Chains A and B, each alone.
Chain A
Amino acid sequence: MMAPLYSYGLFGDEFSLVLAFIIGIGFGFFLERAGFGSAKKLAAQFYLTDLAVFKVMFTAIVTAMLGLFYLSWIGWLDLSLVYLTPTFIWPQIAGGILLGFGFVVGGYCPGTSLVAASTGKVDALIYIGGIFAGIFAFGEVFPRITNFFYSGDMGEVTMPALFGLPYGLVVFAVVLMALGGFWGAGAVERIFGAKQAES
């Protein structure tokens, strides 16, 4: 678990698995309810006709960011105990592009493929098969790409630290980015949705 309750040792591995299960069920449920169990809906964002994925994700980011920010500001949460994924810039760019390709072609990202599989979608089951094949292939070639895998190490870097900006300002900037993104997404949907309806 990433959160400080586990780091503080308030519960052990076993209970953290139970918690992860409960949180996972909730996560999957809401992904499904947002329509993310459908490859058509997910792929539609790449054709700019339906940007629900973008909007849901950005809403989640802003909600979590504001929540974490205020909880730690009032002293209820020790952010220094929350795990940050270290940045390895080059392999992460490469991995992001690969994942994007897979997303466009397959219509799912790893999480949503599991959501779709739970509702009995066959394409999602095949997609999951692909994930495992990919993990296996990665394991096989890993010794040859170890150097690349660890290249561009920037440590546990955050945007305020990277740009030397105050934390609060970055929080506000992300909120503005999200609001601008929602507005822009709505406009894009109207344009491309109309074009699709014409054809």
Chain B
Amino acid sequence: METKSPWRPTRNQTLALIAFFLGALAIPGNPYQGSVVELNTQELATIVDTEVDHVTAEELADWIIQGDTEYRLIDLREEAAFAEYHIPTSENVPTSELLDYPLLRNEKIVLYSDGGIHSAQAWMLLRAQRFQGVYILLGGLDSWIEEILFPALPTDATPQQTAEFERVAHVSKFFAGTPRTGVDAQSASAAIPLPTMDPSAAPIVPKRKRKKKKGC
């Protein structure tokens, strides 16, 4: 009796079948991480508690003076405010555009806004998108203005405070600030005009690899 041999696919047919099934299986998938994410809330809470995600104004000033280029400084404020004054080396990116802005997940990213609220919110957005090295400028631009641009020496300062002030005054002058002593120290820093941003002067941009033109 003759038995009909079962159909055996050729090698090409096998490959075609594999491709077909992998293709069909792909239908519900999306290779890009969408706007829906999962968060490790415990890990985030620990980071917030331990405050390892903070950079003080003084640390930032040090980096800028030393020409450290291993960070991206992001100014989250409006364009007009940015034009009026911004911390050297910063890039202006409103929060709504942050996720489309070309940042890498392994870069050290320092965020600042006027106070701390916007940068804290933006910090959460970036962490949710799996950016690892996201930091907040502690106290925001307000702190920068208070501590770096217009540091004040109390009238009843101890010698230690005076020595410290000398150092900070030096830093302040680097950023075209105005250290306050004596009577000035009593006045609110808001009364002193911010250093003007010379639009003709090229902004200090951290040196980084230029995006190369790539292709076949």
Interface window among B28-36, B71-79, B155-163, B164-172: B28-36
Q: Do residues B214 and A68 form an inter-chain contact, with CB atoms below 8 A? A: no
If A2-B214, A8-B104, A81-B104 touch, does A171 touch B32 (CB 8 Å cutoff)?
no
- B residues within 8 A CB of A7? 104
Which of A7, A175, A182 neighbours the largest number of chain B CB atoms within 10 Å of its CB?
A: A175
Knowing A80-B32, A179-B20 are in contact, say whether A171-B104 is a contact too (CB < 8 A). Answer: no
Q: Is the CB of A69 within 8 A of B26?
A: yes
Closest residue on chain A to residue B105 by CB atoms: A78
B27 CB contact (under 8 Å) in A9, A78, A172: A172
A79 and B23 in contact, given A8-B106, A179-B16, A182-B16 (Cβ under 8 angstroms) = no
Within 8 Å by CB of A9, from B31, B106, B215, lies B106
Tell me if A72 and B104 are in contact (CB < 8 A): no
Q: Which residues of B contact A62 (CB under 8 A)?
A: 19, 23
0/1 string, A164-196, CB within 8 A of B gives 1: 001111011011101100100000000000000
- Residues in A with CB closer than 8 Å to B104 are 7-9, 81
Complex-state Cα separation, A120 to B28, whole angstroms? 49
Complex: A85 Cα to B215 Cα, angstroms: 7
- A168 in contact with B214 (CB, 8 Å): no
Please determine whether B26 and A79 come into contact, CB atoms closer than 8 angstroms. Answer: no
B201 within 8 A of A: no
Dominant SS among interface residues on chain B: loop
Interface size on A, residues (CB 8 A): 32
Please give the distance in Å from A40's CB to the nearest CB on chain B. Answer: 24
The distance from the CB of A179 to the nearest CB of chain B, in whole angstroms, is 5
B32 adjacent to A167 (CB under 8 Å): yes
Most buried by A among B16, B19, B28, B215: B19
Per-position contact with B for A87-108: 1 when CB-CB < 8 Å, else 0?
0000000000000000000000
Q: For residue A179, which residues in chain B have a CB less than 8 angstroms away from its CB?
A: 16, 19-20
Contact check, A172 vs B26: say whether CB atoms are below 8 A apart: yes
Q: In the complex, A122 Cα to B106 Cα: how many Å?
A: 48
Interface positions, chain A 65-90, Cβ under 8 Å from B, are 66, 68-70, 72-73, 77-81, 83, 85
Distance to closest chain B CB from A99 (angstroms): 11
Could you name 8 residue pairs across A and B whose Cβ atoms are closer than 8 Å?
A: A9-B106, A62-B23, A66-B23, A69-B29, A73-B26, A80-B32, A168-B30, A171-B27
B-binding residues in A (CB < 8 A)? 1-2, 7-9, 62, 66, 68-70, 72-73, 77-81, 83, 85, 111, 166-169, 171-172, 174-176, 178-179, 182
